[in-house]
Amino acid sequence: MIRKFQAADLDSVARIWLQTNLEAHDFVPDHFWQDQLADVKKAFLAADLYVAEEDGKIAGFIGLEGDQVSGLFVAAPYQSRGIGKALLDKAKQSRQQLRLRVYEQNPRALEFYEREDFKFQGEETDPYTGEPEYALFWQRD
């Protein structure tokens, strides 16, 4: 089930955010993600977030800032079960277009977004990590 984020979800969402970043972005030092956690938790409370629940637990979430996907995260035990697609479909229902960035060294995410009809727009460097990333774009037909 996909639903709006509630303040009571904060700790679960923060755990998923941290663990998924540590696993998917092992090319970025762990302390970078750990140092961001307190600020990210504050941002979650003000953001447009949707969570996916499975078996009464938060399995993943998507964050939106206007047409920007600020993050799509699915906890490891729930990956490859359609949850990321369901969360992205929820975002697509409420937007005419979506933009996001994916680290070049995260081919699994890049393949996922390509399957979901996102188009390559360019390559940039993440100003916080110095890592190359791709800018992707989706637009409703």
Q: What is the pLDDT of residue 100?
A: 98
Question: In this model, does residue 141 exceed pLDDT 90?
Answer: no
Handedness of CA 23, 44, 42, 77 (dihedral sign): negative
Question: In this model, does residue 29 exceed pLDDT 90?
Answer: yes
Q: What is the pLDDT of residue 113?
A: 97
- Quick one: which of 46, 53, 71 has its CA closest to 12? 53
Query: Would you place residue 46 in the very low, low, confident or very high pLDDT band (cuts 50, 70, 90)?
Result: confident
The overall average pLDDT reported for the chain is 95
Question: In this model, does residue 63 exceed pLDDT 90?
Answer: yes
Q: How would you classify residue 118: left for phi > 0, otherwise alpha for psi between -120 and 50, otherwise beta? A: beta
pTM above 0.85, yes or no: yes
Query: Would you place residue 47 in the very low, low, confident or very high pLDDT band (cuts 50, 70, 90)?
Result: confident
**Spatial distance between the Cα atoms of 44 and 66, rounded to a whole number of angstroms:** 14
**Spatial distance between the Cα atoms of 90 and 85, rounded to a whole number of angstroms:** 9
Write out pLDDT tens, residues 66-119.
999 999 999 999 999 999 999 999 999 999 999 999 999 999 999 999 999 999
Task: Provide the residue type at 134 as one letter.
Answer: Y
Residue 72 in tokens: 């799509």
Query: Would you place residue 20 in the very low, low, confident or very high pLDDT band (cuts 50, 70, 90)?
Result: very high
Domains in the chain, ordered, with CATH?
A: 2-139 (3.40.630.30)
Residue 129 in tokens: 């990590």
